[in-house]
Amino acid sequence: MKRKRTFKSYCLGIESTADDFSVGISTFGGEILANVVSAYIPPEGGIHPREAARHHAEVASKVLKEAFKKAGIKPQNLSIIAFSQGPGLGPCLRTGATVARALASYLGIPLVGINHCVAHIEIGKLKTGAKDPVTLYVSGGNTIVSAFDSGRYRVFGETLDIALGNCLDVFAREAGLRQRVGEPFGAVVEKLAEKGKRLISLPYTVKGMDLSFSGLLTSATNLLKKGEYKLEDLCYSLQETVFSMVTEVTERALAHTEKKEVLLTGGVAANKRLQSMIKTIAEEHDAEFCVVPSEFAIDNGAMITWTGILAYTHGVATPIQKSFVKLRWRLEEVEVTWVR
Amino acid sequence: MGKMKQPLLIKKGAEASLYLADWHGRKVIMKKRLPKKYRLPKLDEQIKTYRTNHEPQLMHEAKRAGVPTPTIFLVDIKGATIIMEFIKGKQVKQLLDEISKSERLYLCLKIGELIGRLHECGIIHGDLTPSNMIQNSEGKIFFVDFGLGEKRKELEARGVDLHLMKRALQSTHFRFAEECFNAVIESYSKVLDAETVKNVLDKIKEIERRGRYVAKRKGEEE
């Protein structure tokens, strides 16, 4: 018998673009019942895609079981399976996609491939109540300023090289700092920066609406190796410079689009200093400042789940033979059929 | 700063505010970089001073390259203010949506030539977007807002400059972004020598591939 799609319909979403493997379960009405994340923390260095994928494969069944337990439903209650189809690291994406395909075909229910960047925006809107924001999405893998126009989320500004979060992470690693579960590099740098007082001049690179962080990172790392400056002051200067850069571009997008909301999301959204900067420009342009709660700002399964529901209820489904992962799937390539 | 009657705020940009003012009987634009509360005062001061200082210099050099820019009347570094000629006309951003396809292509050909002249003289505009170009009643196109400009001749800088133009077209004029950009490149190619043009075009492709998550990345060929 065919299950009817009512408020009792459920969607399970799988997120595995980078170092997190996460499963979310939600009702079609947008009530998040479970959002379980398992983070891969490398013993040293950055994320090795194959090692991260191995972690994802190892924890997948445990995370799935925990999500079902938290949501209080059985796999048979599900109506659709959503998964992050890209952009991201190949081995990680493939691991998540394999789990999603297996579940969908075993249960005989539709599969929906979701763009990771779109999902960040949609969960942000759900959680903050924003309707049509300029979004600043800053994480370890992405730095994008976007806004909705004519059926798609258009990219107004983005990084020309590395992501802002990546810039902070690499600097922290070069400085010999350590991250832990619940305290990523960004948080460690933020803590040190609070003690910094002296502003050290670093390259401020805004090119039109786009940004560049790689030269800035090299410069900061070189100063660090010279050993003439206090680490606190370097963290402080690094934060002040990179956050001023993204805030400038976000403000320009806000002035250009004249939208009335600013949404801050991604892992770096947790930073209090960045929040205060974005809040300042929002106030100056009479826009509402919305920041996504940390649980839903970092990579998480719930955002894939919720976006899967939006897409599926507006005619989007991904047949298994077309469910290959898209490593470089740009935000603006996605037709956003569910907005207006 | 001289006599100034009630300046009228005409545009509150993200970087500076533009006022239309009467200055010694002349209609002028007063561009004032306001302090940004989100930035540390020291960083704010550095950025404002640098941009107020460099913008008029680049505008002057652009003129020498044969690219119309508003005439500078006064620069006040401490007040982060530039007083310049008021250009009566329409932003290319608006025009693109209003005119016919052939007019659009003609306009883009003219713009491409002007960008070529800037680059030929080692000037990088830094924010090439249709909203920073104004066409006056005689059809002359003025380039404005050199606040993010630089004096450079590297392929990288030229490539990023054109890449920004392409991106600006894609984000606000996506319906005809491609034809517009092709026209820009067509006439740009006539100003600089063939080898440089080829290298700049290769650079643009490289910059696009370097970006996050594009179909083909640097070093990859299909």
Model confidence pLDDT, tens digit, residues A281-311 = 999 999 999 999 999 999 999 999 999 999 9
CB spacing of B14 vs A156 below 8 angstroms:
no
Residues B105 and B180 in one domain: yes
Q: Which pair of tokens denotes residue B154?
A: 């590297």
**A225-239, A264-278, A312-326, B12-26: least confident range:** B12-26
> Which pLDDT does position B174 carry in this prediction?
83
Minimum Cα–Cα distance from B169: chain A residue: A156
> Which pLDDT does position B5 carry in this prediction?
64
Residues B209 and B130 in one domain: yes
Q: Quick one: A10-119+298-333 is in which CATH superfamily?
A: ATPase, nucleotide binding domain (3.30.420.40)
Q: Does residue B216 fall inside a structural domain?
A: yes
Q: How far is the alpha carbon of A34 from chain B, nearest alpha carbon, in Å? A: 29
DSSP string across A7-49: TT-EEEEEE-SSSEEEEEEEETTS-EEEEEEEE---SSSS--H
Q: Is the pLDDT of residue B124 over 60?
A: yes
Residues B199 and B142 in one domain: yes
CB spacing of A255 vs B13 below 8 angstroms:
yes
Task: Using an 8 Å CB-CB cutoff, list chain B residues near A201.
Answer: 46
Q: Does residue B207 fall inside a structural domain?
A: yes
- The bridge status of strand B72-76 relative to strand B81-85 is antiparallel
Phi and psi torsions of A39, nearest 5°? -95, 140
> Which pLDDT does position A1 carry in this prediction?
44
Dist CA B190 CA B175 (whole Å): 26
CB spacing of B213 vs A251 below 8 angstroms:
no
Q: Say if residue A87 is preceded by a cis peptide, omega within 30 of 0.
A: yes
Q: How far is the alpha carbon of A200 from chain B, nearest alpha carbon, in Å? A: 9
**A112-116, A144-148, A209-213, A236-240: least confident range:** A209-213
Residues B77 and B106 in one domain: no
CB spacing of B128 vs A208 below 8 angstroms:
yes
Report yes or no: B169 at the A interface, CB cutoff 8 Å: no
Report yes or no: B210 at the A interface, CB cutoff 8 Å: yes
Q: Does residue B205 fall inside a structural domain?
A: yes
Given B12, B42, B171, which is nearest A154 (Cβ)? Answer: B171
> Which pLDDT does position A150 carry in this prediction?
83
Residues B142 and B119 in one domain: yes
Task: Evaluate whether B127 touches A208 at the Cβ level (below 8 Å).
Answer: yes
> Tell me: the pLDDT tens digits for A92-105?
999 999 999 999 99
Q: Where in chain A is the domain with CATH 3.30.420.40?
A: 10-119+298-333, 121-296
Of the candidates B85, B105, B132, which is a domain's last residue?
B85
Percent of chain A with pLDDT over 70: 98
Candidates B213, B214, B216, B220, partner chain A, best to mutate (most A CBs within 10 A): B213
Q: Is the pLDDT of residue B214 over 80?
A: no
Q: How far is the alpha carbon of B24 from chain A, nearest alpha carbon, in Å? A: 31
Report yes or no: B16 at the A interface, CB cutoff 8 Å: no
Report yes or no: B46 at the A interface, CB cutoff 8 Å: yes
Residues B156 and B175 in one domain: yes
**Does the annotation mark B145 as catalytic?**
no
- The bridge status of strand A10-15 relative to strand A20-27 is antiparallel
Task: Using an 8 Å CB-CB cutoff, list chain A residues near B126.
Answer: 207-208
Of the candidates B85, B113, B128, which is a domain's last residue?
B85
Looking up residue B158, the CATH number of its domain turns out to be 1.10.510.10
Task: Evaluate whether B217 touches A328 at the Cβ level (below 8 Å).
Answer: yes
Q: How far is the alpha carbon of A115 from chain B, nearest alpha carbon, in Å? A: 12
Q: Does residue B1 fall inside a structural domain?
A: no
Residues B110 and B196 in one domain: yes
Q: Is the pLDDT of residue B6 over 80?
A: no
Of the candidates B20, B50, B85, which is a domain's last residue?
B85
Report yes or no: B35 at the A interface, CB cutoff 8 Å: no
Residues B196 and B110 in one domain: yes
Residues B105 and B57 in one domain: no
What number of other Cβ atoms are within 10 A of residue B95's Cβ?
A: 18
CB spacing of B38 vs A277 below 8 angstroms:
yes
Is residue B220 very low, low, confident or very high in pLDDT (cuts 50, 70, 90)? very low
Q: Is the pLDDT of residue A244 over 70?
A: yes
Q: Is the pLDDT of residue B98 over 70?
A: yes
CB spacing of B164 vs A328 below 8 angstroms:
no
> Which pLDDT does position B13 carry in this prediction?
76
Looking up residue B29, the CATH number of its domain turns out to be 3.30.200.20
Q: Is the pLDDT of residue B132 over 70?
A: yes
| A199 class by beta-carbon count within 10 Å (0-12 exposed, 13-18 middle, 19+ buried) | middle
Residues B201 and B170 in one domain: yes
Task: Using an 8 Å CB-CB cutoff, list chain B residues near A208.
Answer: 126-129, 148, 160, 164, 167-168
Could you tell me which residues come within 8 angstroms of residue B57 by beta carbon, excluding any fewer than 6 positions away? none
Residues B107 and B214 in one domain: yes
**Catalytic one of B22, B44, B76, B127:** B127
CB spacing of A208 vs B217 below 8 angstroms:
no
Q: How far is the alpha carbon of B38 from chain A, nearest alpha carbon, in Å? A: 5
> Which pLDDT does position A7 carry in this prediction?
47
DSSP string across B30-59: EEE-PPPTTS-HHHHHHHHHHHHHHHHHHH
Minimum Cα–Cα distance from A244: chain B residue: B39
Least Cα distance to B114 among B146, B155, B74 occurs for B146
Q: Does residue B2 fall inside a structural domain?
A: no
Q: Is the pLDDT of residue A2 over 90?
A: no
CB spacing of B15 vs A248 below 8 angstroms:
yes
Is residue A168 very low, low, confident or very high in pLDDT (cuts 50, 70, 90)? very high
Q: Is the pLDDT of residue B222 over 50?
A: no
Percent of chain B with pLDDT over 70: 92
CB spacing of A160 vs B207 below 8 angstroms:
yes
Q: Which secondary-structure segment (H or E) carries B117?
A: helix B101-120
CB spacing of B47 vs A277 below 8 angstroms:
no
Task: Using an 8 Å CB-CB cutoff, list chain B residues near A161.
Answer: 210
Residues B181 and B211 in one domain: yes
CB spacing of B38 vs A276 below 8 angstroms:
yes
CATH architecture of structural domain A121-296: 2-Layer Sandwich (3.30)
Q: Is the pLDDT of residue A279 over 70?
A: yes
Q: Which pair of tokens denotes residue A47?
A: 């994320």
Q: Does residue B3 fall inside a structural domain?
A: no
Reduced 3-state DSSP string for chain A: CCCCCCCCCEEEEEECCCCEEEEEEEECCCCEEEEEEEECCCCCCCCCHHHHHHHHHHHHHHHHHHHHHHHCCCHHHEEEEEEEEECCCHHHHHHHHHHHHHHHHHHCCCEEEEEHHHHHHHHHHHHHCCCCCEEEEECCCCEEEEEEECCEEEEEEEECCCCHHHHHHHHHHHCCCCCECCECHHHHHHHHHHHCCCCCCCCCCEECCEECCHHHHHHHHHHHHHCCCCHHHHHHHHHHHHHHHHHHHHHHHHHHHCCCEEEEECHHHHCHHHHHHHHHHHHHCCCEEEECCHHHHCCCHHHHHHHHHHHHCCCCCCCHHHCCCCCCCCHHHCCCCCCC
Provide the domain count of chain B. Answer: 2
Whole domain around residue B205: which residue ranges?
89-221
More confident residue, B168 or B171: B168
Minimum Cα–Cα distance from A253: chain B residue: B14
> Which pLDDT does position B1 carry in this prediction?
53
Q: Is the pLDDT of residue A72 over 90?
A: yes
